[in-house]
Amino acid sequence: MRFLKGHGTENDFILLPDFADLDPQAEVPALTAEQVRRLCDRHAGIGADGVLRVLPVGTATDSEGLATGQARWFMDYRNADGSVSEMCGNGARLFARYLLDKGLETATAFDLVTRGGLRRITLSEAGQVCVDMGPATAGAQSTATVGGREFGGRQVSMTNPHLVCITEAPVVDLDLSRAPMVDEDLFPDGVNVEFVNYVSKSEASEGEPVHVRMRVHERGVGETRSCGTGACAVAAHALQLLGLTCGEVVVDVPGGHVRVSVTPEATVLAGPAVFVGSGEIDPGWWSAIPG
């Protein structure tokens, strides 16, 4: 089996391209949680924050009851712990970059099927891959506890769950080596927790982007260098606290920065999507992984 390794602002993924050649009516081979965990192991595997499997729209999407519209490709995304996730913004941009590079998509705008719904991909004038993540939906106020300190935040859904905690405490000083403590009744399936500082917000009144700094602890992964859906959740909430429903936000993450454009109807994430290598998975190693 072939693989590619790439990242979006250092949020890194293993992409498995061979499934793109499946007949859409064929039964899709299983990808087990243990296989994903072994692939993503940074010491005994290839190492990544998650796995992207390229599947043609067909049997796989039918079995999960997913809306497909005119889309041709399904992004089957798994977290590093093997769990299935609804959506991944940086992963979607890398996935789309693969389709474009290989000529599997030739238009400058097309849809992807994800478990979080259809997502519109566009190319910016600068050649960056942009993904419309849909509207951000604010929920309840809640808290996250790190190192015995409690941080107030807001529940935000990007089809996957987020808790956005905007704070004056420098986020660079937080210890995110362990998962923050959260309200398990509010987040029974886990949650991505973002800790955020405003870098600059005065420009919002002048039509310039708001600027924030973010760190994130992702469910099923741990702290990552970036999180696309997290950046979108952060951008929407940061604007809301400024009394705005529309605007642009530059989000600094440990792996670089992304730009998010927010309206009540859409949240568009733009940033780099880079492949760094490719290879073949050793068949003996792969076949030895328990099913």
CA-angle at 147, arms to 144 and 153, nearest 5°? 20
CA-angle at 95, arms to 92 and 96, nearest 5°? 85
As annotated, the active-site residues are 88, 227
CA distances (Å), 244 to each of 72, 163, 204, in order? 36, 19, 9
Q: Which of 8, 6, 4 is nearest to 225 (CA)?
A: 8
Q: Which of 88, 102, 109, 104 is nearest to 160 (CA)?
A: 88
Specify the residue for token string 């509010």.
186
- Is 158 within 8 Å of 134 (Cβ atoms)? yes
CA distances (Å), 93 to each of 71, 133, 259, in order? 15, 11, 13
Specify the residue for token string 């760094």.
276
The span from the CA of 221 to the CA of 206, in Å, is: 38
